[in-house]
């Protein structure tokens, strides 16, 4: 089974692409890291309790005023203002938040991937906004980056979607998820078929055509017979997975070493 990593940056259209891949003619299962991240911090969960313990002393409006069946949900805009942006305090709090949420998210993602494999799908989409930053790239046979050529497009779309955000809030959130054009370059360094980029500067119809273009190439490089072989022969699937992991790990380390050398020259 192909692990198709889907990533991008905030307001680039990644969720739209995820929705397209989940419907015909693709009909692929989607493991949505953002959705899982919301589920693991619902009131009553261990993640919710840990966030409240750490952030409530410094974030008075951390919880919404209206309580649901299980308690008062997190006030996500308030929590976002606390952890997004520049500064040592925000960076520290962002790391603490990630340390609470990420382990629970990974556990649920593994469960959903195994279930997709057992059901015989030829591929499963791993919808992970911070796929490179979180280290998931080494596990993906193919990565698809959804990007835009100008960050101004991102900020405009983000403010249209979330009217409560100021221009500064929008800029902070775009910056917090990294440069999507750099992600596209990193993706393409994986080689043909292992890294594809969907550019989303236009409308939905243009995006749909872009997805069709890249998925034709992805499907051609992962034929149906190969998927059947991996499903009927788990040892072959394990060997193929380890081989892909080793290759992509080399690509990851090479990229990171190059960036370290570039920074050292500055």
Verify that 199 and 255 share a domain, yes or no: yes
pLDDT recorded at residue 227:
82
Cβ–Cβ < 8 Å for 188, 195 = yes
Place of tokens 């221009």: 167
By CB atoms closer than 10 A (0-12, 13-18, 19+), residue 189 is middle
Verify that 150 and 207 share a domain, yes or no: yes
pLDDT digits (tens, 9 = 90+) for 203-253: 899 999 999 999 999 999 888 888 888 888 888 888 998 999 999 999 999
Mean pLDDT of 157-181: 82
Verify that 19 and 54 share a domain, yes or no: no
pLDDT digits (tens, 9 = 90+) for 63-110: 888 877 788 899 888 888 888 877 888 888 888 998 998 888 988 999
pLDDT recorded at residue 266:
66
Q: For residue 228, give Cα distances in angstroms to 22, 101, 103, 118, 224.
A: 20, 35, 31, 12, 6
CATH code of the domain containing 189: 3.40.50.300
Per DSSP, the three-state class of 32 is strand
Mean pLDDT of 45-71: 87
Verify that 132 and 177 share a domain, yes or no: yes
Range of the domain at 113: 37-118
| pTM of model > 0.85 | no
Verify that 139 and 233 share a domain, yes or no: yes
Q: For residue 246, give Cα distances in angstroms to 105, 158, 195, 239.
A: 24, 37, 16, 11
Look over the chain and give the mean of its residue pLDDT values, rounded to a whole number.
89
Place of tokens 């959705």: 35
Among 70, 91, 118, the domain-final residue is 118
For residue 182, pLDDT over 70 is answered with yes
Cβ–Cβ < 8 Å for 9, 147 = yes
Among 57, 87, 118, the domain-final residue is 118
Per DSSP, the three-state class of 123 is strand
Cβ–Cβ < 8 Å for 138, 91 = no
Verify that 236 and 248 share a domain, yes or no: yes
Verify that 104 and 143 share a domain, yes or no: no
Verify that 143 and 251 share a domain, yes or no: yes
pLDDT recorded at residue 208:
95
CA distance linking residue 68 with residue 43, whole number of Å: 8
Verify that 256 and 129 share a domain, yes or no: yes
CA distance linking residue 115 with residue 1, whole number of Å: 11
Verify that 133 and 7 share a domain, yes or no: yes
Instruction: Please give the tally of structural domains in the chain.
Output: 2
């Amino acid at each position: 089974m192909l692990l198709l990593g889907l990533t991008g940056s905030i307001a680039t259209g990644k969720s739209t692409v995820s929705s397209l891949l989940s419907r015909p003619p693709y009909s692929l299962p989607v493991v949505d890291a953002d959705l899982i991240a919301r589920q693991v911090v619902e009131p009553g969960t261990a993640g919710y309790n840990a966030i409240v313990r750490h952030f409530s002393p410094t974030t008075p409006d951390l919880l919404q005023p209206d309580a649901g069946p299980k308690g008062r949900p997190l006030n996500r805009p308030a929590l976002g203002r606390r952890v997004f942006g520049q500064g040592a305090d925000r960076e520290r709090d962002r790391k603490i938040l990630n340390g609470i949420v990420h382990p629970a998210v990974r556990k649920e993602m593994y469960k959903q991937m195994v279930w997709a494999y057992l059901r015989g799908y030829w591929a499963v989409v791993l919808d992970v906004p911070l796929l490179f930053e979180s280290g998931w790239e080494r596990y993906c046979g193919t990565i698809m980056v959804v990007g835009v050529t100008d960050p101004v497009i991102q900020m405009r779309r983000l403010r249209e979607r979330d009217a409560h955000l100021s221009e500064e809030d929008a800029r902070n959130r775009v910056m917090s998820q990294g440069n999507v054009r750099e992600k596209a370059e990193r993706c393409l360094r994986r080689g043909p078929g292992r890294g594809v980029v969907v550019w989303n500067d236009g409308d939905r119809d243009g995006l749909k055509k872009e997805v069709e273009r890249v998925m034709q190439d992805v499907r051609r490089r992962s034929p149906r017979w190969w998927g059947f072989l991996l499903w009927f022969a788990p040892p072959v699937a394990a060997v193929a997975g380890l081989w892909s992991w080793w290759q992509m790990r080399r690509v990851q380390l090479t990229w990171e070493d190059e960036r370290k050398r570039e920074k050292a020259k500055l």
